[in-house]
Amino acid sequence: MPLFYSIVYLSVLLLLLFVLARTAYAFFIGAPILYTPKKAIRDGLNFCGVKAGDKFYDLGAGSGRSMVIAAKEFGAVPTGFELSPIFFALTKLNLIFSGVRSYDLRMDNFYAQSLDEADCVFCFLTPKAMKKLAPKFAAELTSGAKIISYGFQLPDRQPDKIINNGYPGNVFCYTVE
Ligand SMILES: C[S@@+](CC[C@H](N)C(=O)[O-])C[C@H]1O[C@@H](n2cnc3c(N)ncnc32)[C@H](O)[C@@H]1O
């Protein structure tokens, strides 16, 4: 029996370490967990004209709130990447309880994912992450695709619109040429 308990204890410890390590990794290479105000998400999606059937990507899904809003209110098909198992699980639950049926959620590093099918990319990251993403956006997003960034601008292009309707950060909206 002591061996059994040792194995259970070790497994729980390893699982906990895995969860914490991935969450910390996401913090260092992307951004810590903070949520975009729902109104800011809606304003960005409205300005960018996101419509039914559009492929909407959230780079760092967090709680999944942008995926839910894009799907339920705009009819888009959301894809989310989330490195942290905690926030991956939260996003999954949010999608299920919100009744979103068609979505793609992956516990993956968004820097390593292809964005070429996206009609609209959403993110709330850091200036460092935006700098790193700029060449990826330029290389992979197709002409006409939209980028919505809450809080931080892309270093290499001018936004079509900067929106602020009373929330703490600005919403930067871009169209890929
Ligand atoms: C500031 S939060 C934004 C959450 C959500 N997009 C929102 O706007 O409410 C950033 C999220 O990105 C995740 N993240 C950071 N770097 C990542 C990466 N390279 N790949 C996948 N997820 C990442 C973090 O775990 C965190 O949940």
The domain segmentation of the chain, as residue ranges, is 3-175
Ligand 1 within 6 A of CB of 24: no
Task: Please report the pLDDT score of residue 21 as a whole number.
Answer: 85
Q: For residues 37 and 4, what is the distance between their CA atoms, to the nearest angstrom?
A: 47
Two tokens, residue 89: 């699980």
Q: Are the C-beta atoms of 110 and 130 separated by less than 8 Å?
A: no
List phi, psi (to 5°) of 89: -65, -40
pLDDT of 141: 98
Q: What is the pLDDT of residue 3?
A: 85
Whether 97 contacts 89, CB under 8 Å: no
Neighbours of 90 (CB within 10 A): 18
What DSSP string describes 25-53?
HHHHHT-------HHHHHHHHHHTT--TT
**Is the distance from the beta carbon of residue 34 to the nearest atom of ligand 1 less than 6 Å?**
yes
Best probe residue, ligand 1, of 27, 33, 107, 121 (max atoms within 8 Å of C-beta): 33
pLDDT tens sequence across 148-172: 999 999 998 999 999 999 999 999 9
- Residue segments in the chain with a per-residue pLDDT below the cut of 50: none
Decide whether any atom of ligand 1 lies within 6 Å of the 57 Cβ.
Answer: no
Contact 112, 81 (CB under 8 A): no
| pLDDT at position 106 | 97
Ligand 1 within 6 A of CB of 137: no
Distance CA 135, CA 22 (A): 25
Cα four-point dihedral sign 147, 132, 68, 71: positive
Taking the centre of ligand 1 as the mean of its atom positions, its distance from the CA of residue 82, in whole angstroms, is 6
Cα–ligand 1 centroid distance for 125 (angstroms): 7
CATH of domain 3-175: 3.40.50.150
Residue 104: Cβ within 10 Å count: 12
Residue 91 to residue 23: CA distance in whole angstroms: 14
pTM of the predicted structure, to 2 decimals: 0.92
Region for residue 95 given its phi and psi (left: phi exceeds 0; alpha: psi -120 to 50; beta: otherwise): alpha
Does residue 161 sit in helix, strand or coil?
strand
Instruction: Please work out, in degrees rounded to the nearest 5, the angle formed at the alpha carbon of residue 71 by the alpha carbons of 133 and 152.
Output: 30
